[in-house]
Structures are given as C-alpha cells and as structure tokens.
Amino acid sequence: MFIRTHAGAICGIDAVAVTVEVNIAGGGLGLYLVGLPDNAVKESEQRIRSAFENSGERMSGRKVVVSLAPADLRKEGSGFDLPIAVGILAAMGRIGAAAVEDTMFVGELSLDGRLNAVRGVLPLAICAREAGLRRLVLPQANAAEAAVVEGLEVYGVGTLADTVAFLNGEKPLVPQPVTAYDAAAEESVPFAEDFADVRGQSVAKRALEIAAAGGHNVLMVGSPGSGKTMLARRLPTILPPLTPEEALETTKIHSVAGKIGRACGLMTRRPFCAPHHLTSQVALIGGGQSPNPGEVSLAHNGVLFLDELPEFGRSTLEVLRQPLEEKRVVVSRARYSVEYPANFILVAAMNPCPCGYYNHPSRECICSPGSVQRYMGRISGPLMDRIDLHIEVTPVAPGELSAAAPGEPSAVIRERVVRAREVQAERFRDVPGVHTNAMMNSAMLTEYCRLDTASAALLERAMTRFALSARAYDRIRRVARTIADLAGREAITAADIAEAINYRTLDRGTWGR
C-alpha cells in the first residue's frame, strides 16, 4: 500500500516542506530509506522498530520503502522519526489515510515510544502553514514554541501510542492555544540590571545611549575594573522592545540553534551574546558539518559583546567584517550554502595595554610605547574602522562610588532611545531593510545627513588631522545624525559633528605614544 504524509527540513533559519512517501509491497524484507538521509535519519529504523515494539505495534513483515522528497535535498536530524513511523503505520492500515493527508509530523522517538523534543520547530510550523497544511503534530515539549504561528492547529503529544490514538479519533486532543507576542507584558518584567547601578562614567553612558538609539558599534578601552563589562551588560536594558517581526525572526534563529526554552513561545527580550575569546571562527560566524547559526546570528536584533577583544584570534575577528557591513552571513561549503541574518550591535571591550594601566590616573603603566602599539595593533585597521564609537573608560573616583544618589535609570534612557528610533522608523518607512541610522547607505547619507558650512569645515579638518578613512567619514555623519535625533533636531549641527568626532579616540595618531 502507498501512503503520503508530510515533514520538514531545516535550511538556514527557514524550513522546506518534505513529502514522506511510504510504499509496502512484496519482493523483500526490511526498511529502505531513500532521499539523501543523513546518519541520524538512517538510524531512525532502529528507533522506530523499538518504539513499535514498546507501543503495541508491529513492523510490517514485507519490504518497506520510505522516500523523502525532494530527493536532492539533504535531510538531517532526528525529527523525521515521527513522520516516517506514522507513514509506515498508515501504509499498514493501522491509521486512516485521510488522517495524515493535511498534517505535518515532527518528532524524535525514544526506544520506549516516547517523543523527544527537537530543534527548529518554529520555522517548521511556519513552513506547514505556508504549505497549506491544517495541523502540526509534534512532541509536547515543543508545542508552546510552535503555537506562536496563527492559522495552524498545533497538537502536542507525549508518545507514539498517543499519536496513533489521536489520529484514529480514539483520543481527542485540544490544540495548543496560540501564544501571540505581548509587548506590554514584556515591558512589565523588570531587567535584573539597570544603569541606575552605574556610578559616574557619564561619557560612556552617553556613548551607549547613542549606540542604542542608532544601532552603532562601540569599543570601550579602559583599565581592569573600570566598569566596561558592567556597562556593556546594561545596554540591552535601554534598547527598544522587540517588534513582533523581530521577535519572530529572533526566535527562529534560536529555535534552529536549539537555544530556546521548551516552555516559551516568542522571545521577548533582545539577545545578549558574550562568547569567550577562545571561540572558533565557525562558532562565531556559523556553519560546521551540520550548519548552525553562529554567535553573530544568535545576537541578531540584539547585542554581541566581545570582552578582552585583543585576546580573540586575529583571523577570528576578521570574519566579522562582512556581517558588520552587510548585516548577514553567507556560509558556503561543498555540500551546502546557507544565509543567516546578523544585524547586531557590536560592543567590544579591551585593556589599553598588556599590563592594563596605560593612561590610568593613579597607577603606573610598565609597558613600553612599542608594546602598547603592538597590543593595540592586534585589532586590525579595517575592523577598527567599522566601529563607530571609541570610548576611553576611566576608573571611577572613590567619592563617586560611595555616592548615595543612584545614576539615571535605564527606563528614562530607554524612553529617549525609543523616541529617536521612532524618528528613524518614520524616516526610513519606505526603505525596506533599513531601520536605524547605522544602516544608511551612501545615497541616504547624502539625503539625510546634509552638513552646513561650519559642520562640513569641522569634519574636513578632523579628516586631515587624524588621517581618517572615507568609511570613518561616513560613520561620523551617521553618529552625528543619531545625536541630532536624540536632541530632536531636524538638521545636524557643528556640535553634533564635534561630539561624533570625539568618539573616534583610537583614530588619533597620538594613542599609545
């Protein structure tokens, strides 16, 4: 007997519909899987046989051929266990053929017949809806994640026996309630960290506010204990809430990577990723033998924090160039080519020298000028050029640390950031894919970053004095545009340009000398 049912395969952060065709006929024994299955899919035979035996079912004694179409797409992962098992049972007459026609199945089978959670459920649910299927049957642990997709009935089941009973109408199940994104609920949950905890550091806090408002990259240079990490970890608290579209895209990435909690629906907080400096290129950028999103994609719509920046391998840091410019990553290998989004705010922190105390107000640096230059030289010029704001973070005076008055809270700063983002949203409403000032191209810079005579002359003098590149020239204009937006000004002034130039500390030729 021939039966056709439905599954899905992950490709990048999206899914492709897969048709599972099962044919049982004479002419031999055993289960034959075709359609480019990987090892995990090939091993499903043993899991399915054991699950059948422990669920009161029996494998057909005749030849079973399972085809996964399209045949030229590689099928990876254990999520094909359930659709293959259901297809075999339907072909044996144990399940009605009509019950599997408009349903996608996803799930890994344990040897005792229980269903284990799998990754990538959200893009699979979206794929099922787009393919015109009516319902999705999957492990109970994945049901909340899949239920964010409207227009699709999501049923969570615990075992293979429960699945058979449900499909045969012997055990009715209630669809998982749709868990829509609730921005108001996200706002009501306070952050564990707050800028009110930060004493002093007015320049650094101002720079981070600008970075949050315009989506700019930041590099903080300062001695150990000056507060670089503390400041960086509080940046997400002043970023605008995720829009429903951003929440869906962010959740898809974390779902494919297997990083999302099983009981959650859409992610409600912007991600903050802080990989260790021993992270490899593949872990940072993505890819691998079985392609997975890297840290730059896990930080999409959020913050990527690289602490101790010079300690990262130079070749590892250089792979950041493309995503910083293009806001996406294309990973090409012999077997596949996938694209992951990577629109993040880069926040990096580093010491000013090997001993850490160059330019310290009270401690003496023991490094020679040459060693300071070599240490700073671990960060290449092209990468440094792609960072908009360079901030020198100085230690806080003891008097400020013991001050009773807290700093400005994150909620107040966030209101200013949200207002500036609203101005940018209106500015770029007709430009697809552009949401912040940091994403403006050359044509947009010409239109939205016009400079008066005084501003243009000031920027020209800075270009000559500090030997700035053309890329730095454009980035200064973008930062100045954000400063003007925070102030509610339509036009960029010379003061905005001066402040933006002041954030190019490491472009000055006197650093480390």
- DSSP assignment, residue 285? H
Task: Read off the pLDDT of residues 152-180 as tens digits, 9 standing for 90 and up.
Answer: 999 999 999 999 999 999 999 999 988 77
Task: Read off the pLDDT of residues 313-323 as tens digits, 9 standing for 90 and up.
Answer: 999 999 999 99
pLDDT band at 184 (very low <50, low <70, confident <90, very high): low
Number of CB atoms found within 10 A of residue 254's CB? 22
Task: Read off the pLDDT of residues 489-507 as tens digits, 9 standing for 90 and up.
Answer: 999 999 999 999 999 877 6
Quote the pTM value: 0.90
The DSSP code sequence of 124-150 is HHHHHHHTT-SEEEEEGGGHHHHTTST
- Flag whether pLDDT at 15 surpasses 60: yes
Average pLDDT over residues 76-87: 93
Percent of the chain with pLDDT over 70: 95
Look at residue 513 in the predicted model and tell me its pLDDT. 47
Average pLDDT, the chain: 90
Look at residue 181 in the predicted model and tell me its pLDDT. 67
pLDDT band at 261 (very low <50, low <70, confident <90, very high): low
Look at residue 50 in the predicted model and tell me its pLDDT. 94
465-469, Cβ contacts within 8 angstroms, sequence gap of 24 or more? 466/504, 466/507, 466/508, 466/509, 467/507, 467/509, 468/504, 468/507, 469/385
CB 393 within 8 A of CB 204: yes
- Flag whether pLDDT at 183 surpasses 70: no
Q: Residue 332: name the closest of 116, 12, 106, 13 by CA.
A: 12
pLDDT band at 92 (very low <50, low <70, confident <90, very high): very high
Look at residue 362 in the predicted model and tell me its pLDDT. 84
Task: Read off the pLDDT of residues 455-465 as tens digits, 9 standing for 90 and up.
Answer: 999 999 999 88
Task: Read off the pLDDT of residues 325-379 as tens digits, 9 standing for 90 and up.
Answer: 999 998 887 777 888 999 999 999 999 999 989 888 888 889 988 888 889 888 9
Task: Name all domains of the chain by residue range, CATH numbers in brackets.
Answer: 2-167 (3.30.230.10), 185-507 (3.40.50.300)
